[in-house]
Amino acid sequence: MWLHLLVLVVIIFLYRWYRYSLTLENLSDKYVLITGCDSGFGNQLAKRLDELGMRVLATCLTEQGADNLKKETSSRLQTVILDIANTSSVHSVATWVSNILGEKDLWGLVNNAGTGMPGAPNEWLSREDFAKVLNVNLLGPIDVTLKLLPLLRKSKGRIVNVSSIVGRVTFCGGGYCISKFGVEAFSDSLRREMKPFGVKVSIIEPGYFRTGLNNMQNMKDTLKKIWRNVHPEIRYSYGEEYFHNYVSDLERTFLSFSKEDLTPVTDCMVHALTAVHPKTRYSAGWDAQLFYVPLSYVPTFLADFLLTRAAPTPAH
């Protein structure tokens, strides 16, 4: 009985391994647009795909980011400036892509661009603070996808949306977690709508990695600015000690758990774009796979306890 079960498990494992190991041919003919290539995941992915011989269309927020990327890649890679929160900029980039493609197809879109700030306890923030993050992390990718969807339907291509493990489990205030839950919902609905057209949609859920989004000094400076602008009554309720403990906990978590090697994430992105059978979801990083994904399935009271047991204590 147990031997038969073990054999069945091994067969299933080998079948899945073989299925997911199959890769596409003629990668050099495939164009892929990646957003947010100044640094981090997008920058590394652009270089990886360029090494594979793919035709990379890399969007950057700054001219410096675009120039640096072009110096480190082949002449195949092309860059363009994109402010993903600006719909006019998105429209211009969509036109640029169409002009470059001509009669060729757009194989892939990687919605990677994002921002983590401003982020803080919800009560410290304004509506505008939430909107800044949602415009970049959620509405921007939706805008880009809608503009390029006709091209992706034509090629029966791939859409890769970069979410986060906080799209499953919320552990901080502000718009970041909200935006990633939104990315998950948008991706799920899009995947089901695009299935009859042959377009495959994948979600990447990274754990805690060190990218341009979470530079520790920038986060500390932003939090100090937010704290200075908090209403006096709110500052009194939380207290200065709460603020300093909040920043210290954030820094300790960053130094203890964030990973500098971005390869686990970009490996998932490459697989989603080049595998014959891409996965629906990719959880990247040991913290995502061993802690946050399991945490998303436990009862709410237990998840709340685990995530708040070391939280700072307010003054009043």
List, by residue number, the catalytic residues. Answer: 176
| SS3 annotation, the chain | CHHHHHHHHHHHHHHHHHHHHCECCCHHHCEEEECCCCCHHHHHHHHHHHHCCCEEEEEECCHHHHHHHHHCCCCCCEEEECCCCCHHHHHHHHHHHHHHHCCCCEEEEEECCCCCCCCCCHHHCCHHHHHHHHHHHHHHHHHHHHHHHHHHHHHCCEEEEECCHHHCCCCCCCHHHHHHHHHHHHHHHHHHHHHHHCCEEEEEEECCECCHHHCHHHHHHHHHHHHHHCCHHHHHHHCHHHHHHHHHHHHHHHHHHCECCCHHHHHHHHHHHHECCCCCEEEECHHHHHHHHHHCCCCHHHHHHHHHCCCCCCCC
**Residue pair 205/284 in contact by the 8 Å Cβ criterion:** yes
**What is the distance between the alpha carbons of residues 291 and 218, in angstroms, rounded to a whole number?**
27
